[in-house]
Structure 1
């Protein structure tokens, strides 16, 4: 009799109205969108980081010949160094200009449309860079590098957004790693094609830049047949039919009401709330740690100094004492170790989490940068010191790709999603409306919870909440706020009502962003908050 009662209770708990999200599998459409989206975006960025390494001496010789033809005298060493530095660094300036146009482009063209239009920049840059020697114009190379920098700036901003919006939460970390893996793969392919046996020759170096058009054209051929971001279709275009079809294609199932409801809730919250200004964003205490996280992570990501390793790898190895004939092959090993580390990071990121990978990566980079500085300083005194420098560079690159290289691209959009939820303020309301809310016109959501606060059903729901506590604690520990809110079935509107209707202590908790204390003070059953 007791066993039968336990079985009935277990079946009743399993049939509770709070269901776990269905286990998500990877679909062909989702993998294709991640693959071909990364080929024409992340791959090109990584390729351009390393492609200027191998033909550096040939490009400087081309600058000298062009200068002789124009002015009848050889170019000065300072001038050629200046031109080469501009050629390398203008790529970053172009990236900044491209990133500044993203907010406008994604509203007009959408995520997929922006990626497709961005390929025009890659094709134009490939033509300028490949034909610069034929036209005897080093200005074409500088302009081409600027344009491909714009292409990379747009791609690095739009692609993570597109991948994050089309991938379900269960596999979002793995899909987001496509971005990091293809950057590493682009670096590696640039090093392979720069070998003397392929395009690393004085008569063939322009083919290295002509190759830029191939990934762009490949993306142009495939990406138009894949769906647009469902979130963009529903929130910007108001096309629910197209959004439902896109969700079905990416998720591989016909029942996508849960995903549509989430986007609808976010859309309603945007309509009932106003966007916070920059000053309000910095003044809100509840957003302080999210802002600090984004600023610190991205500042360390951009200022970690790895680009200096990529741009000047050959020079570093040459000064370290390696033979010039071996340097291209030694450089090739750095691209291989980077790609391998990025793949391993993609396999373990969902199990380990973003934060441990970031802490490990940045800490290891600090150690190996320090060792590299010491080894380079003493490399003239010991014959075996260059090998330690080479080992430090390999470990430095592996540390970056296993941690910040991939985890930052996944972690920061997740934190930005939390900011998007919480940086919206209630629409301006009259004092009478606020008093009416506080007196008793409470939302149906709260009234329903109070009606369910007693009786057998509430006790069963409490048992079900106990069964779900481990998952909730796991999401809190990982800092996955969006997944936690989905699990708790809380929309932005309900959070807004809570901040107005609950008692003073609870409102203080909301303002401070203290989620743990807020859960303790809320007068609600365990159905939502267990």
Structure 2
């Protein structure tokens, strides 16, 4: 279906839903900026920070379980008796994605019934059991079950944490706090790669690494016991007094009545129950299609292919340690996420997303130029490394954090969990497809052709974001939903 353009151009009232939201957002931002007092250090984010930091530990576990298989896979294969079998080695890695797919598509019913807090605690149990089973594994079957359980937990958490942060964080800081998802993932990868260094001399070290993964899981379950529940979920289930207390503590007492009024108004209008069929009607259909498209384009812009191929890229310039190369990539990713956390509530989601994909496209074309044009070997390798690091940095500026952040912001309270579940299901399917066929395509068409395609998809995504994504900075989730509902 055609989407209306998100540019603010026609006179108010004559444009589309998305145009009007752009105009309202810009006007409201100007009013808020004009009314803010100058001077002083802004600590309005501090009351909610411990809660979202605790939740983002789930993303740390996600990153850790991505990185934990990077170094020791050969040792695991040797000890469990499937060394030299590329199918089984690939299965141990890919079964994680199968579990994540199942987790992401099934979580919404649980969170609608139990809320974010309890669901996050319960979902951490398969993460702990999976890590423990992997550490104890003495056969390929045990390892596969362990990795599947970990994937199941990750599939729920990667959907749940951005949803939780979007519903708990004050509007002004929602973007910056949501980048903790990306930062947590980066830190998890870096930690796993750093801890993998002893595996180069100790072939049994991988078991210790899986045991270590149980610790943050236990800390997450305990920490969430002291975290708040989403005030929006509490309103949906009629626990208004609890919601008032949380809003007063986290957002400020002056926000209580206004926020409760907006949230209850939305709940009364849309209801507190939803089904998957709701995604087939407007405005939910439009948001679901945008969410699915964003993750589809993100994956086919090549992030996992570039990460997979980066070790070979760094090997060409003398960095022969795969763990060291991956660590350099992880640090670059982390640096980009930190910059994004500073910019996202200043520049806005849409601008960062467009700029991010343009930067990724330029990085891809730089690598292709280094490969395709006659340069001396040293210069070609240097440009390839620069292009790879540029790509990862610009990905972390927008394509990484904004994609998962803007979907719950655009979704209605009624269908937010369903839209998130659908969007992340698309993510895991595309992730699996890219991982499955990347090396085959490189072997058939060459790195230059594949990377050119990644660059082209990145440019396409920038155009998509320009036309179809509206700015959500500075607006509460209820304001966005009511703006869409008035024209649906």
**Same fold at TM > 0.5:** yes
Does residue 117 of structure 1 match 2:109? no
What aligned pairs does 1:246-325 form with structure 2 within 5 A after superposition?
246-253=246-253, 256-271=256-271, 277=277, 280-281=280-281, 284=282, 290=287, 292-311=289-308, 313-318=310-315, 320=316, 322=318, 324=320
Asked whether the equivalents of residues 199 and 205 of structure 1 are also in contact (C-alpha less than 8 Å), the reply is: no
CA distance in 2 between partners of 1:44 and 1:398 (Å): 21
Aligned residue for 2:76? 59
- Aligned pairs for 1:122-137 (under 5 A) are 122-132=127-137, 136-137=138-139
Name the CA distance, whole Å, in 1 between partners of 2:358 and 2:300: 14
State the secondary structure of the residue aligned to 2:229. Answer: coil
Aligned partners of 2:78 and 2:405: how far apart in 1? Answer: 42
| CA distances 1:378-408 after superposition (whole Å, capped 9, x unpaired) | 8998244333322222111111101111111
Contact preservation (8 Å) 1:266, 1:492: no
**2:239 and 2:136 mapped to 1: Cα distance?**
44
Aligned to 1:263, the other structure's residue is in SS state: helix
Question: For residues 172-208 of structure 1, what are the alpha-carbon distances to aligned partners after superposition, in whole Å with 9 as ceiling and x for unaligned?
Answer: 1111111111111112112211224x77731312222
| Secondary structure in structure 2 of the residue aligned to 1:186 | helix
Which SS does the other structure have where 1:358 is aligned? Answer: helix
Matches within 5 A, 1:227-238: 227-236=228-237, 238=238
Give the Å deviation of 1:26: 2.9
Worse overlay, 383-392 or 288-297: 288-297
Residue 171 of structure 2 is aligned with which of 158, 169, 176?
Answer: 169
1:394-437 CA-partner distances (Å, limit 9, x unpaired): 1111111011111112222222249969x9xxxxxxxxxxxxxx
In structure 2, distance between residues paired with 1:224 and 1:291: 32
The alignment covers a number of residue pairs equal to: 402
Residues 255 and 385 (structure 1 numbering): CA distance in 2 closer, same or farther, change over 3 Å?
A: closer
| Equivalence for 1:47 | 64
Which runs of 5 or more structure 1 residues have no equivalent in the other structure? 1-18, 68-74, 424-476, 497-509, 512-530
- Residue aligning to 2:190: 188
Q: With CA pairs under 8 Å and 6+ residues apart, which has the higher RCO, 1 or 2?
A: 2
Q: Whole-Å Cα distance in 2 between the matches of residues 186 and 378 of structure 1?
A: 38
Superimposed CA distance per residue, residues 42-90 of structure 1 (whole angstroms, 9 cap, x where no aligned partner): 1111122222111122223224xx35xxxxxxx6x4xx11111111111
The alpha carbon displacement at 1:307 in A equals: 2.3
Q: Determine if contact 2:287/2:407 at 8 Å carries over to the other structure.
A: no
Question: In the alignment, what sits opposite 2:426?
Answer: none
- Tell me the alpha carbon deviations over residues 304-346 of structure 1, each in whole angstroms, 9 at most, x when there is no partner: 332234455435544x36353x443232211111101101011
337 and 321 in structure 1: CA distance in 2 versus 1, 3 angstrom threshold: closer
Residues 106 and 114 in structure 1, CA contact (< 8 A), matched pair in contact too:
yes
Counterpart of 2:97 (choices 92, 99, 104) is 92
Change (3 A) 1:59 1:385: farther
1:102-128 CA-partner distances (Å, limit 9, x unpaired):
111102321010111111111101111
1:352 aligned residue (347, 357, 366): 347
Tell me which of 101, 110, 113 is aligned to 1:108. 113
Residue 391 of structure 2: SS of its match in structure 1? helix
How far apart are residue 302 of structure 1 and its match?
A: 3.0
Select the residue among 388, 398, 402 that pairs with 1:393. Answer: 388
C-alpha separation between the residues in 2 aligned to 1:411 and 1:359?
13
The residue that corresponds to 1:12 in the other structure is: none
d(CA) in 1 for partners of 2:230, 2:286: 29
Could you tell me how far 1:20 is from its partner in structure 2? 6.8
Cα distance, 1:141 vs structure 2:
1.6
Question: Structure 1: how far apart are the matches of 2:336 and 2:256?
Answer: 35
Q: Which deviates further from its counterpart, 392-401 or 328-337?
A: 328-337
Summarize the alignment of residues 127-526 of structure 1 with structure 2, pairs less than 5 Å apart.
127-132=132-137, 136-196=138-198, 201-236=202-237, 238-253=238-253, 256-271=256-271, 277=277, 280-281=280-281, 284=282, 290=287, 292-311=289-308, 313-318=310-315, 320=316, 322=318, 324=320, 326-373=321-368, 375=370, 382-417=377-412, 479-480=471-472, 483=475, 510=487
Given the two structures, how large is their TM-score scaled by the length of structure 1? 0.68
Instruction: Report the 3-state secondary structure (helix = DSSP H, G, I; strand = E; otherwise coil) of the residue aligned with 1:211.
Output: helix
Structure 1, 105-114 or 362-371: larger mean CA deviation: 362-371
Give distance in 2, aligned partners of 1:485 and 1:347: 21
1:363 is paired with a residue of what secondary structure?
helix
After TM superposition, give the deviation of residue 280 of structure 1 in Å: 4.8
Unaligned runs of 5+ in 2: 1-30, 37-41, 419-468
Residue 501 of structure 1 corresponds to which residue in structure 2?
none
* Alignment partners' CA distance in 2, 1:164 and 1:61: 44
Whether the aligned pair in 1 keeps the contact of 2:100 and 2:156 (CA below 8 Å) is yes
1:232 Cα deviation after fit: 1.0
